[in-house]
A = this chain, B = another copy of it.
Amino acid sequence: MEIVKTVNEVRNIVKSWQKEGLTVGFVPTMGYLHEGHQSLITHAVSENDRVVVSIFVNPMQFGPTEDLASYPRDLERDAALCEVNGAALIFNPEPAEMYFPDFSTYVDMEGLTEGLCGQSRPVHFRGVCTVVTKLFNIVQPDRAYFGQKDAQQLAVIKQMVRDLNMAIEIVGCPIIREADGLAKSSRNTYLNEEERKAALVLSRSIRKGQQLLEQGERNAHTIIEAMTAIIQAEPLAKIDYIEAVDARSLKKVETFEHPVLVALAVYIGKTRLIDNFTYPEQLEEAK
């Protein structure tokens, strides 16, 4: 496995693979890899001849009051995890390699980006779309892998790829959880012991919603209310949003008819965590 820092190095390596007729899978990350990332990498390894992992904490997708400076970083550990999971190349650029001082081009989206996380993070998806477009153009993979934990991001990337005719297959992968239910996230490292316990309200709230649906409840308001009550019972938790939206359009729904995404963002102390489920669960498109 190689670790490179420049666009040209990535291009040359990928070009040599493509000349040999090898397929390329791509896992874009911000590093500090956990089992969620590892599942993306192993999924990519199973479907492609070579896998590239990018590790880049993208300044453009953080708002001015967000956790860019404190975002956890550990390249050595990340590199070991990439290697053991079968990645062939890590692209770990400096911000200056990605953004020239007079950088001024943006990829942005209306509609899907406006609700859910887009509401409290207004520049976030512009930053995500722009950096993912750049990374796709640099790596030129056949397939790229994103976690369902960032459900809105996955929907946005799929729409962007379709709208801009990017010749890349987007593969969504299931949420990976701790044994007690907490969705794996690099931001979980921000939690102290007390907050770590409090953070379980997210997955407990999700299980509550799923139970109600299994019992036949279809009214979105009733389900969101029951989920909200669980979060509100936790003093360390503060809800950013809990919403039931159409899984494709991300528009609010009143009842569960078509596949619905139930997504939530909750502050546990100062740490903003997200989680979600889809009902009925959607199978990835057949390959």
Q: Residues on A close to B: CB < 8 A?
A: 7, 11, 100, 102-112, 129-130, 133-134, 137-138, 140, 159-160, 162-167, 249
Distance of A101 Cα from B133 Cα, bound (Å)? 22
| Residues A159 and B105 in contact, CB atoms below 8 Å apart | yes
| Residues B160 and A105 in contact, CB atoms below 8 Å apart | yes
**In the complex, which residue of chain B has the Cβ closest to the Cβ of A156?**
B105
Q: What are 21 pairs between A and B in contact, CB < 8 Å?
A: A7-B165, A102-B249, A103-B163, A104-B109, A104-B110, A104-B159, A104-B163, A105-B107, A105-B109, A105-B129, A105-B159, A105-B160, A105-B164, A106-B107, A106-B110, A107-B107, A107-B164, A133-B164, A137-B167, A138-B165, A140-B167
| Residues B100 and A163 in contact, CB atoms below 8 Å apart | yes
Copies in the complex: 2
Per DSSP, chain A at the interface is mixed
Distance of A7 Cα from B164 Cα, bound (Å)? 11
| Residues B111 and A108 in contact, CB atoms below 8 Å apart | no
A106 touches which of B103, B104, B109, B138 (Cβ 8 Å): B109
**In the complex, which residue of chain B has the Cβ closest to the Cβ of A166?**
B137
Q: Kindly provide the distance from the CB of A137 to the nearest chain B CB, expressed in whole angstroms.
A: 4
Distance of A7 Cα from B100 Cα, bound (Å)? 32
**In the complex, which residue of chain B has the Cβ closest to the Cβ of A130?**
B164
Q: Taking each of A108, A129, A130, which has the highest tally of chain B beta carbons within 10 Å of its own beta carbon?
A: A108
Distance of A112 Cα from B104 Cα, bound (Å)? 8
Enumerate chain B residues within 8 angstroms of A166, measured Cβ to Cβ: 137
